[in-house]
Amino acid sequence: MPKHVYFTKYFRECSRFQSNFKSNSLRNQLVHSKNYASAAGGGGGRPNRSGRPPTLPPYPEGLVIGVCGRRHSDRTVFVISQIHMDEIAAVTDAVFYADPELQEKLKEKRPYLFYEEFNNDFRELKAWAVTEHTGWIVRHGIKRLVKTKSYCYKFMPEWLEKYLSFRASQSYTYIDESSEAHVFLERARTEDSTPLYHWQSRNHIDIEPRVKANSLTDGYLLDNRKWHSRIQNVVPKCVPSILDIAKNPKQHKGNPFAKLALSGRIRP
């Protein structure tokens, strides 16, 4: 093949490749910009006047919801949102907050939390919303659906400063596991409150498209499956749960609840 014919074909191929590459890149940008606010289960937050996503306020230092949060060396509070053992922190000498109705259920189903030897201080925090979720569980080898009440909370700036010495310019709203989690997420956004959104388990039914961290740019995803996360808006587990102790008491020998688990007073 003559050299001039070879080079002509070569440059044509290069030109076609570059044209396709630019076209695909532009198409991806357009698709991303159109779907950014509705991608993969979340609103992505409302953009500010400049059109950019809102600046994410810091997570309240010292606030632990369930087993997820960021502990503070001097002041930490633990908030309970449901009766399940994997959502209750196995800690002692601690301050717990829970809705009055939930506290009564805890006294009935989890009485050991109130033992004097653990020196826990239980205080009331009225729920912002009470909802429920339904999921599969296995008990005695039998798989069945169980419905559980969930309690969502709103943390006002005054409350955060009083009990955590944390200064905030707006409220934070915790959204627990729920079949209506997406509704509460939009409600929190409407109220200009920073969402603290609990990861929704795939064992649950009637769950809308699940919210992921990359679509929750205006809030935090609380994920009790992880102990560590490099993603800025993912708040991982920071303390063992009662279920962790019940399943592996020998692994948590230093935890005061381990004695109850070893004696059979706490069971998974």
Cα distances (angstroms) measured from residue 256 to each of 41, 266, 268: 40, 12, 16
Give the tokens for residue 20.
Answer: 């396709």
Residues 169/155, Cβ–Cβ less than 8 Å: no
Domain boundaries, the chain: 63-262
Cα 48 to its chain centre, rounded Å, is: 24
Q: Give me the pLDDT at residue 16, please.
A: 53
Q: Which of 179, 184, 214, 207 is nearest to 197 (CA)?
A: 184
Closest CA to 102 of 75, 76, 77, 131: 131
pLDDT score recorded for residue 45: 53
Q: Please give the C-alpha separations between residue 103 and each of 174, 201, 265, in angstroms, as whole numbers.
A: 18, 24, 20
Does position 192 have pLDDT exceeding 60, yes or no? yes
Yes or no: say if 99 and 176 are a contact pair by the CB < 8 Å rule. no
Question: Is the predicted pLDDT of residue 252 greater than 90, yes or no?
Answer: yes
Q: In this predicted structure, what is the pLDDT of residue 40?
A: 36
Interval 211-236: pLDDT, tens: 899 999 999 999 999 999 999 999 99
pLDDT for 9 beyond 90:
no
Q: How far is CA 8 from the centre of its chain?
A: 58
CA 255/CA 245 separation, integer angstroms? 8
Q: How confident is the model at residue 143 (pLDDT cuts 50, 70, 90)?
A: confident
Which among 149, 177, 153, 129 is positioned nearest to 83, based on CA atoms?
Answer: 149
Per cent of the chain over pLDDT 90 is: 65
pLDDT value for 32: 39
Q: What is the residue-averaged pLDDT of the chain?
A: 83
Separation in Å, CA 36 to CA 44, 81, 121, 180: 7, 30, 44, 22
pLDDT level of residue 179 (50, 70, 90 thresholds): confident
Query: What is the predicted pLDDT for the residue at 34?
Result: 35
| Mean pLDDT score, 38-44 | 40
How many other β-carbons are positioned within 10 Å of the β-carbon of residue 223?
A: 18
Nearest in space to 120 (alpha carbons), one of 99, 91, 84: 91
Confidence grade of residue 111 (pLDDT, cut at 50, 70, 90): very high
What's this model's pTM, rounded to 2 decimal places?
Answer: 0.79
Higher pLDDT, 38 or 214: 214
**Length of the chain (residues):** 268
What average pLDDT does range 39-61 have in this prediction?
62
More confident residue, 141 or 130: 130
pLDDT over 80 (residue 25): no
